[in-house]
A and B are shown apart, each in its own frame.
Chain A
Amino acid sequence: MNFLAYYSINDLIAIAPQLILTIFGFIVTLVDLWLPKTEKSANAFIALMGFILAGIVSVMMFDSGTTSAFVGMIVTDNASLFIDLVIIIAGILAIAMSVNFVDREDINIGEYYSIILFSSVAMMFFASTYNLIVMFISVETLSIGMYILTGFLKNKSESIEAAMKYFILGSFASGFLVLGIGIMYGLFGSVDLNVISASLTKAAAIYKALGILAFMLIFIAFGFKIAAFPFHAWTPDVYAGAPTPMSAFMSVAPKAAAILALMRLLVVGMHPIQIEWTQMLWIIAAVTMTFGNTVALWQKDLKRLLGYSSISHAGYMLVGITAANSLGYGAVLFYLFGYLFMNLGAFSVAEFISKKGDTNTEIANLKGIAYKYPLIGAAMLIFMFSLAGVPPTVGFIGKYYLFSAAVQSHLYWLAIIGVINSAISAYFYLNVVVTMYMKGDTEGEFSILNSGLLKTTILIGAVGTIIFGIFPSYILSIALHSIAF
């Protein structure tokens, strides 16, 4: 057996956070079998332990250099550990949001948590590889997890409809991804982005053109995952239909993984055709921002509004990638970190005002909530200000660096479009605040999800949004130094 000639214990150490989450996923699955129906919340506790342990390990692994494992399939560097941490924090907050929610909706089964854990594993693999095959398999794994979690509210027809739509559109996107990878492999004989990049540099014009075609096919799948403009159609339906904690989770975690994977694809794999992809991304970023923000102006439902807002935020992040300089890449990572707190917080408030059946999340239902629950109101104010990009929140700092990266690369028009979009977005974000504070009838009865863990999530979100807005330098320097390419 010459197995040890290929693999050693170092390979397993390089994927330690993923391994821990996988193990805890199995523990949840097994322990769930012996738990009585009333004690199912223990699953959430085990899943939380898994996420916390994986978080500690990935913090410990930070700054230990770039390791390549599994014969070059996996690359563990600071950027992937940073995204691991974003996914882990999103997972922790999403589980904290879930505990009382799944109880109320009567979907409290162990599979809910084990699917969260397993799809987080796939997201981490997705963010830490230069190999297109690993990318394909992990994107499939995380997508299947997300389809299932979207449809978890079996009694709510919107949830099932959203899952079905997501599944069908997602399968199309996967088809394009496979086709792109196939053409790439046919052209250059490899699925490793470093090899593809080297071959693409020397390729004749016709092969380069075919390479661009293959890249565009692959980009469709990535654009679908991050909800960029022509591939965004699923986002509002899925975010509005899915269980609220899962809308929150999938608005951050898969997006974070896909953004880093996209950066690896563009910056490392497609480096020889950088001129072409920056032109393409310029248009997509501008249209994505504008589309998300303008359509959001007419939204009545808070979750749907956050869906469109997440499209526009994908556009802001694409600005950082279009800038194609290290400031832009670092700013994207930082923005993801900030987006995690503000978006999960905003979804927590949407969950706070929801009724059984995950309904009643209209913006109008926030009327007067700031007087009845002043702290929740204040927290929502912070989230909305941060999403709109008002200082001193993390949203402002993130956007500032994204747009200054664009200016640094002389993309003045893109930066201007971005700033105009921020101004447009202020209208609908502040509309939420106005509804909370100024359309008061404080007499109205609120039906809320009264959960200590949910309130803690809102608190963590608000504190994170403010703290990293006032003191961004620590995370920002980590984000800027994480980028290895």
Chain B
Amino acid sequence: MSVEIVVFAILALMAVGGGFGIIVTKNPFRAAMWMVLSFIGSAGLFVMLDAVFIAMLQLIVYAGAITVMIVIAMYTMDRLTIASLKRFNNQAYFGALFGIGILLDFIVIAAKLKINTAQMGKNLSIAGSNVKAIGDVLFKSYLLPFEITAIVLLIALFGAVALTKKDL
């Protein structure tokens, strides 16, 4: 058993276990913390695939920003309201069926394609770092769309202020 498999097992356990934790725990705040664990696990898997940049994004955007947003949303709600929320509604079975279907799909695909574990991650590793590769694409060929996104963010910021502030 190589080190790689041990590391993979730990990370995969974190990702999947975190996911289970989210649906099993009763306290929504704890669920958010389980979600962080799951995100960290999948970030680790991305690192194993040599996709360092995506791993960092996973940590910063999901484990950092999105979790904080969810937790803050919870703080603004009434505690009793949260406690009285039903954790599963009538559609939970459909969700479960859908999830099982996708899981079976992935298993079938993995079995059919006979994924070669020795080749795993080779396609993603680019000469040099992949941060550099992404930077090249963003600032060489896609510079203009990248700059227009600055205007999107600015307009959205203006809108958020102009529409919500009482007296400007």
Chain A residues with CB under 8 Å of chain B are 3, 6-7, 15, 22, 29, 70-71, 73-74, 109, 111-112, 114-115, 118-119, 121-122, 125, 131, 133-134, 137-138, 140-141, 144-145, 147-148, 151-152, 154, 163
Contact check, A154 vs B163: say whether CB atoms are below 8 A apart: yes
- For the complex formed, measure the closest distance between the CB of A139 and the CB atoms of chain B, giving whole angstroms: 10
Contact check, A115 vs B163: say whether CB atoms are below 8 A apart: no
Q: With a CB–CB cut-off of 8 A, which chain A residues contact B154?
A: 118
Q: With a CB–CB cut-off of 8 A, which chain B residues contact A141?
A: 148, 151-152, 155
Contacts A109-B168, A138-B148, A141-B152 given; does A71 touch B159 at CB 8 Å: no
> Which residue from B142, B149, B158 sits with its C-beta under 8 Å from A148?
B158
> Which residue from A6, A118, A121, A148 sits with its C-beta under 8 Å from B162?
A148
- For the complex formed, measure the closest distance between the CB of A243 and the CB atoms of chain B, giving whole angstroms: 12
Contacts A70-B143, A115-B158 given; does A140 touch B163 at CB 8 Å: no
Q: With a CB–CB cut-off of 8 A, which chain B residues contact A6?
A: 140, 143
Contacts A71-B141, A73-B142 given; does A151 touch B149 at CB 8 Å: no
Per the bound structure, the CA–CA distance linking A29 and B96 in Å amounts to 50
Contact check, A118 vs B151: say whether CB atoms are below 8 A apart: yes
Contact check, B145 vs A134: say whether CB atoms are below 8 A apart: yes
Further pairs besides A115-B158, A137-B149, A152-B163: 14, Cβ < 8 Å: A7-B143, A15-B144, A71-B141, A74-B144, A111-B158, A111-B162, A118-B151, A121-B151, A122-B151, A133-B142, A137-B148, A137-B152, A140-B152, A144-B155
A-B contacts, CB under 8 A, total: 73
Most buried by B among A144, A147, A163: A144
- For the complex formed, measure the closest distance between the CB of B100 and the CB atoms of chain A, giving whole angstroms: 25
Contact check, A71 vs B158: say whether CB atoms are below 8 A apart: no
Main secondary structure of the interface of B (DSSP, over half): helix
Per the bound structure, the CA–CA distance linking A361 and B96 in Å amounts to 52
Mark out the residues of chain B between 9 and 32 whose CB falls within 8 Å of any chain A CB in the assembled complex.
Answer: none
Q: With a CB–CB cut-off of 8 A, which chain A residues contact B141?
A: 71, 73
Contacts A22-B151, A109-B168, A118-B151 given; does A144 touch B159 at CB 8 Å: yes
Q: With a CB–CB cut-off of 8 A, which chain A residues contact B144?
A: 15, 70, 73-74, 125, 134
- For the complex formed, measure the closest distance between the CB of B160 and the CB atoms of chain A, giving whole angstroms: 9
Name the residue of chain A whose CB is nearest to the CB of B139.
A3
Name the residue of chain B whose CB is nearest to the CB of A140.
B152
B156 beta carbon closer than 8 Å to chain A: yes
Q: With a CB–CB cut-off of 8 A, which chain A residues contact B140?
A: 6, 71
Most buried by A among B141, B148, B152, B168: B148
Per the bound structure, the CA–CA distance linking A35 and B47 in Å amounts to 52
Contacts A74-B144, A109-B168 given; does A147 touch B152 at CB 8 Å: no
Q: With a CB–CB cut-off of 8 A, which chain B residues contact A73?
A: 141-145
User: Size range of the interface on B?
Assistant: 20 to 34
Q: With a CB–CB cut-off of 8 A, which chain B residues contact A137?
A: 145, 148-149, 152
B161 beta carbon closer than 8 Å to chain A: yes
Q: With a CB–CB cut-off of 8 A, which chain B residues contact A131?
A: 145
Per the bound structure, the CA–CA distance linking A212 and B159 in Å amounts to 36
Q: With a CB–CB cut-off of 8 A, which chain B residues contact A121?
A: 151
Q: With a CB–CB cut-off of 8 A, which chain B residues contact A147?
A: 159
Contact check, A115 vs B159: say whether CB atoms are below 8 A apart: yes
- For the complex formed, measure the closest distance between the CB of B142 and the CB atoms of chain A, giving whole angstroms: 7
Name the residue of chain A whose CB is nearest to the CB of B158.
A111
Name the residue of chain B whose CB is nearest to the CB of A114.
B158
Q: With a CB–CB cut-off of 8 A, which chain A residues contact B168?
A: 109, 111
Q: With a CB–CB cut-off of 8 A, which chain B residues contact A111?
A: 158-159, 161-162, 168
Q: List 27 A-B contacts (CB under 8 A).
A: A6-B143, A15-B144, A29-B158, A70-B144, A73-B141, A73-B143, A109-B162, A111-B159, A111-B161, A131-B145, A133-B145, A134-B144, A137-B148, A137-B149, A137-B152, A141-B148, A141-B151, A141-B152, A144-B152, A144-B155, A144-B156, A145-B155, A148-B162, A148-B163, A151-B163, A152-B163, A163-B163
Name the residue of chain B whose CB is nearest to the CB of A135.
B145
Q: With a CB–CB cut-off of 8 A, which chain A residues contact B163?
A: 148, 151-152, 154, 163
Q: With a CB–CB cut-off of 8 A, which chain B residues contact A163?
A: 163
Per the bound structure, the CA–CA distance linking A15 and B151 in Å amounts to 15
- For the complex formed, measure the closest distance between the CB of A235 and the CB atoms of chain B, giving whole angstroms: 21
Q: With a CB–CB cut-off of 8 A, which chain A residues contact B143?
A: 6-7, 70-71, 73
Contact check, A112 vs B162: say whether CB atoms are below 8 A apart: yes
Per the bound structure, the CA–CA distance linking A73 and B158 in Å amounts to 27
Name the residue of chain B whose CB is nearest to the CB of A3.
B139
Q: With a CB–CB cut-off of 8 A, which chain B residues contact A152?
A: 162-163
Most buried by A among B142, B154, B155, B156: B155
- For the complex formed, measure the closest distance between the CB of A281 and the CB atoms of chain B, giving whole angstroms: 28
Name the residue of chain B whose CB is nearest to the CB of A147.
B159
Contact check, A148 vs B148: say whether CB atoms are below 8 A apart: no
Most buried by A among B144, B149, B156, B168: B144
Name the residue of chain B whose CB is nearest to the CB of A133.
B145
Q: With a CB–CB cut-off of 8 A, which chain B residues contact A15?
A: 144
Q: With a CB–CB cut-off of 8 A, which chain B residues contact A140?
A: 152
